[in-house]
Copies of this chain bind each other. A is one copy, B any other.
Amino acid sequence: MKRLLITGFSGFVSRHLLEYLDASGAESEVLGVSRSQPDFPIDKYRSLRCSFRQLDLLDKPGIDQLIAQFRPTAIVHLASYSSVGFSWQNPVESFTNNTNVLLNLIERVRLLGLPCRILSVGSSEQYGNVDAAFLPLREDGPLCPVSPYAIARVSQEMLSKVYVSGYGLDIVMTRSFNHIGPYQRDLFVIPSFAKQLCAMRYRAAPARLVTGDRTVIRDFVDVRDVVRGYCDLLLHGQAGEVYNLCSGEGTSIDHVIATMQRLLGTEAELETNPKLVRPNDNRVVVGSLDKIRDAVGWSPRIPLQQSLENILEWWRERVLASEPHPAS
């Protein structure tokens, strides 16, 4: 990966990817693009030469110029409006910012005839409401996407495939399951709980946690394992193929909360808000990691408890650095 373009550069996955690349001495020239400035220093990765360009990926002339100038040899396309909830509120924005941005990128690579390996990141949401008989979810199983976000991701994957089969582009695809880790914003469920529980533990916030349905089962995978998997796929994945990135294990939200409470020593009262329960949510989402393990030898290394410990450590620092809770 001589010249690596990372989209969604300011997001938490990108930050972990940079750390992984740096630690493995990748010596890549990295160009990051994102709509917003990164909130981490980009000059601390000693083995990388990082630069950043603020850009909206829907700005087609901007993308065209950027790719023509930088001539990436690899692209990791992390940019995404990845919230299902947002997609229900803003279906058009969700669709264009997931599907059309990918299309703009790969079209420019095609027109320039660049030899460039591209990682197109998708989501376990693509599986949608599949019958329990299809668990664990395999890449060759049915897709029943139910949200605008999920449909955007399926469309993105179909477009990627046709660019491989029809134009010979070098694109590998993923369906990434719930990835968690430090740096993730509290818009998502696990960091949101972690932040609130740390506020209880260290700032004496009221010991009450409002949740959605805690009995649903999800497949959590540490973001540091995920970025290692992305690099493995960039190096050894097969063009035109899609790979689950998952732990292969199902964990209830209840179990996650109980583990975090045990680690922190909190005893928050749990309250279910029916408004947070999504009516057509899948009860169980668990992926099969057979394909990626067989293809590139990847499997996750970081156990869930360690992920949760690291997430809590990160939020502990932030909570302690913040203003005390008014009730404390």
Contact = CB atoms under 8 A, between A and B. Distances in A.
A91 interface: yes
Contacts of A146: 162, 165-166
A151 B166 CA distance: 12
Contact of A88 (B88, B96, B158, B166): B166
Contacts of A162: 91, 145-148, 151
Given A146-B165, A165-B146, A95 B151 contact: no
Interface in A75-108: 88, 91-92, 95-96, 99-100, 103-104, 107
A152 to B, nearest CB: 9
Which interface residue of A100, A145, A158, A163 has the most chain B CB atoms within 10 A?
A158
B154 A158 contact: yes
Interface in A86-132: 88, 91-92, 95-96, 99-100, 103-104, 107
Given A155-B158, A162-B151, A104 B92 contact: yes
A151 to B, nearest CB: 4
A209 interface: no
Given A91-B162, A151-B155, A151-B162, 14 more contacts: A91-B103, A91-B107, A91-B159, A91-B163, A95-B100, A95-B103, A99-B155, A100-B100, A146-B165, A147-B162, A148-B162, A148-B166, A154-B158, A155-B155
